[in-house]
Each structure stands twice: as C-alpha cells, then as structure tokens.
Homo-oligomer: A and B are copies of this chain.
Amino acid sequence: MTLEAQDEQRAAVKDRLVGAPITQNVGFLLAKLHAVGSIVNNRALAEFHLKERSYSVLMLAASGLEPTQREMADFLSLDPSQIVTLVDELEKRKLVARAPGKQDRRARIVTATSKGKELLAQAAIAVQRAEADVFAALDQDETGRLTALLRKALWGDA
C-alpha cells in the first residue's frame, strides 16, 4: 500500500465513527468542535506567545468595559486564581495593567496597554484566519446563524 493510500484509509476510518449515536448529542458536537478549534487557535496564537486563555483576557482588557478580575473569572468560567496567573503574565509583558477599582478598592480593573492593543490587533487577524479554516464547510450565512444560536443559548439573545 502506498503512503497516500494509507492516509486515505486513515481518514476513512476516522470518519467511520461518525455514524455512532453519540454524534447526535449536541454537547458532544460542541466538545469536539471546540477541541478542533482550540488546537487551531492555539497554533495561530503561538507566534504571539498567547494562548486561548490569555487571548480572551487580553480581549476583555481591551474592550473598554474595564472588567475586574472577578468579572473575568465569572465570564470565562475560570477560577479567580487562574485569572491571577494569566494577568500576572500579561502584566509582566506590559500588555495589560492593573488598577484599583474606583468604588471598590479590593477589586482590580484590568486594562490593555497600547502595546497590548497593538499585539491584540495582530493576533485577532490570525485568529480570524484560523477560524475561517475550522468553519470552512460553512458559508458566511451559516456561520452567522451558528453564532446567533450559540449566543442565544448562552444569554437568551434575540
């Protein structure tokens, strides 16, 4: 058997299990597509020394919404201590800055520095390119509908 033929067979075998009942399970599909997307995203972010997590934090810091670490933890479904680590790292790289909360001095508001915003702009392009790859099988309209459905499931968007 040639190498190419082996590869083809491997691909065929891989898709053999698509018929399993579990593939009708929405949660499973979510998990699998997320797994695929994660790998692709992290690969795209590697050149900026970011990962999905730090990218998300940087995005929130650059959003203008002045999130506290606690808010980020809630929003990203992460433990507060994980946010500490992520922000520490970004802060060390001068991509974000911590400031005490205005009404609540216990809280720490995280904002992106201009350096952080610049890096983010680059990274966002890379992520978008990577994502286009993952969702290549969907046309623009379908991707939009998928986004809308996910948002509605999460927050009941109209």
Contact = CB atoms under 8 A, between A and B. Distances in A.
Specify which of A21, A27, A37, A156 lies most central, judged by the most chain B CB atoms within 10 Å of its CB.
A27
A26 B143 contact: yes
Contact of A149 (B24, B32, B65, B145): B145
Interface residues of A, number: 60
B35 A77 contact: yes
A146 B143 contact: no
Nearest to A57: B22
B153 A60 contact: no
14 contacts: A17-B67, A17-B71, A21-B59, A21-B63, A22-B60, A26-B150, A27-B38, A27-B134, A33-B153, A35-B77, A36-B154, A137-B154, A142-B152, A146-B153
